[in-house]
A and B are shown apart, each in its own frame.
Chain A
């Protein structure tokens, strides 16, 4: 099956390479309220506008949604040919996100290593920024990616 891109196999990544991902995503109720409640997160600062009118002033986006969205914005370029996501580390949420904010993602290849004949592990650093260029997210991610020699 040829359903995935040809430029994001294990062999294609180079340590030190930095990628600016091309698409942004404006956060809306579907994203924050939808995913917060889908995953049974009961903290109502994420879905009760009245409760936060004197603190945040508006509903605060759940950090799990911000993490997922930044990794998602990077996914086609960094994980479309992944066999497996291995882990996340050093995740820091630096700036609060609200409905209407637009997020963009950047990635750097920190390391890569052979796993077996068919795949290798790539370690990325990801950054997420908002429409004002504030860093909202940074963190590392390890992914097991197909080798072109075995799959393409």
Chain B
């Protein structure tokens, strides 16, 4: 057995989905969940110059009625988005935009986020022979099941088999 036979024997543990895998109305419950720590929140907020002390000064947050520091809503958005990536967009294709992002409820340090997404629409673009356009509605929840964020995201999503896609005049 040659020294690198492990490479011949290995089977790729594939990740991600392609355009053909999505059906309108399909729901994905995303993996992992994420407890947002004090360090996550303070680091993210200062790293992005997000200078509102609600996110990194505990007595200030308490003076405005919060029991703990508020998690930066952009971190809430990014975490719900991040957990959705393996199911939705890891298969490849540029992230185009977000519509209707609503922050429904404040998140505090120590809260745990989970996410799920519904396929809203898919279409073929005339100008792109390698990928179609898919939109998903993503919702983020806290540990009590309360919705904290929702948004619709649109990406190019690579075709699994570009030669089998009928471009037509879509």
B is bound to A: yes
Q: Report which of A3, A35, A41, A87 forms a contact with B101, defined as CB distance below 8 A.
A: A87
Distance of A71 Cα from B103 Cα, bound (Å) = 15
* Cβ contact within 8 Å between A83 and B47: no
Residue numbers in A under 8 Å from B97 (CB-CB): 90-93, 139
* Cβ contact within 8 Å between A73 and B49: yes
- Is A45 interfacial (CB-CB < 8 Å)? yes
* Cβ contact within 8 Å between A39 and B49: no
B64 to chain A, nearest CB (A): 6
* Cβ contact within 8 Å between A38 and B44: yes
* Cβ contact within 8 Å between B81 and A41: yes
Interface centre among B51, B78, B85, B89 (most CB of A within 10 A): B78
Residue numbers in A under 8 Å from B63 (CB-CB): 1
Residue numbers in A under 8 Å from B151 (CB-CB): 88
Residue numbers in B under 8 Å from A64 (CB-CB): 77-78, 81-82, 95
* Cβ contact within 8 Å between A43 and B85: yes
Interface hits, A14-38 → B, CB 8 Å: 23, 25, 30-31, 34-36, 38
Interface centre among A1, A4, A65, A85 (most CB of B within 10 A): A85
* Least CB separation from B46: chain A residue: A72
- Is B50 interfacial (CB-CB < 8 Å)? yes
* Cβ contact within 8 Å between B60 and A90: no
* Cβ contact within 8 Å between B99 and A82: no
Distance of A86 Cα from B101 Cα, bound (Å) = 9
* Cβ contact within 8 Å between A84 and B106: yes
A-side interface size class: 35 or more
Interface hits, B88-103 → A, CB 8 Å: 89-90, 92, 94-103
* Least CB separation from B81: chain A residue: A64
Chain B, residues 53-86, CB within 8 Å of chain A (1/0): the string is 1100101100110000000011101110111011
* Cβ contact within 8 Å between B98 and A84: no
Interface hits, A53-67 → B, CB 8 Å: 62-65, 67
Q: Report which of B16, B52, B103, B106 forms a contact with A79, defined as CB distance below 8 A.
A: B52
* Cβ contact within 8 Å between A93 and B50: no
- Is A89 interfacial (CB-CB < 8 Å)? yes
Q: Which residues of B contact A (CB under 8 A)?
A: 15-16, 32, 34, 40, 43-45, 47-54, 57, 59-60, 63-64, 73-75, 77-79, 81-83, 85-86, 89-90, 92, 94-103, 106, 151
Given contacts A1-B59, A43-B92, A85-B74, 11 further A-B contacts (CB under 8 A): A36-B82, A43-B90, A44-B90, A65-B78, A71-B74, A75-B49, A80-B52, A88-B101, A89-B100, A90-B97, A93-B94
Q: Which are the 10 A-B pairs with shortest beta-carbon distances?
A: A39-B82, A72-B48, A41-B82, A88-B101, A91-B98, A63-B95, A72-B49, A85-B73, A40-B82, A72-B50
